Amino acid sequence: MLKAKNAKERKMYLLDTNIISFLVKENKTREKEEDKIKEERIVYEVFKLKAQNAIIRIPITSYYEIRRHIIRKNALKQLNKLEKLCQEYELLYLNDLEIMNIASDIWAALMNNGRPIGKEGNADMDIITAAIAIHNNLTVLTNDPDFNTIREIYPAKQFLFKIIT
């Protein structure tokens, strides 16, 4: 579990994969006003937290999601940008069995309560992100309302998230 030197003063967050996925997409519709507004709002929320000296981390699952698109399209010049991101935001690894225990508990609880999330109940990335956050006492920054469902079905006390709409 993560322990910041001055964790009492500095709030700690985890950037959800959905936020990163939205930002990294070379969205041809980004020219649309609504996408531009959404992008600005997301970036602003993160910037605001950084201006408050908050600690923000990125789950290793997000790294995977960005990198696989870059590799698939052979856009290798973009890799150094990803590298820069990893320098500035510490990556959180799946380095503890407890994370996957929490994740599988969440998945089972969702299924057993008839509340699967994602397309055809396939939202492993969200579930793993929630598990990483719970394990490390981090607040998830997300734009995905599915986290409300996770919170309802798996009411871990330390599971906090902030939805950026």
Partner 1 sequence: MKTINIKQPLEKKSLKTRANFGYLSNVPNNTNSYNPQRLINKKEQKFKERLINLIKEVYSEDEIYQQTYNSKEEIIRRILKAFDESQIKYQLSDEQIKKAIRSMLALELIIGIAPEDG
Give the footprint of partner 1 on this chain (CB under 8 A): 20, 23-28, 30, 39-40, 43-44, 46-48, 50-53, 56, 66, 69-70, 72-73, 75, 78, 80-82, 84-85, 87-89
Residue 37 Cβ, how far from partner 1 at the closest point, in Å? 13
Smallest separation (angstroms) from partner 1 to the CB of 78: 4
Q: How is the beta sheet containing 160-163 ordered, strand by strand? A: 91-92, 55-59, 12-15, 139-142, 160-163
Q: Which is nearer to partner 1, 32 or 73 (CB)?
A: 73
Nearest to 19 by CA among 159, 161, 149, 144: 144
Beta carbon nearer to partner 1, 69 or 151: 69
Count other C-beta atoms under 10 Å from residue 16's C-beta.
Answer: 29
Q: Which two tokens stand for residue 131?
A: 């598990």
**What is the distance between the alpha carbons of residues 135 and 133, in angstroms, rounded to a whole number?**
5
Nearer residue to partner 1 within complex by CB, 92 or 103: 92
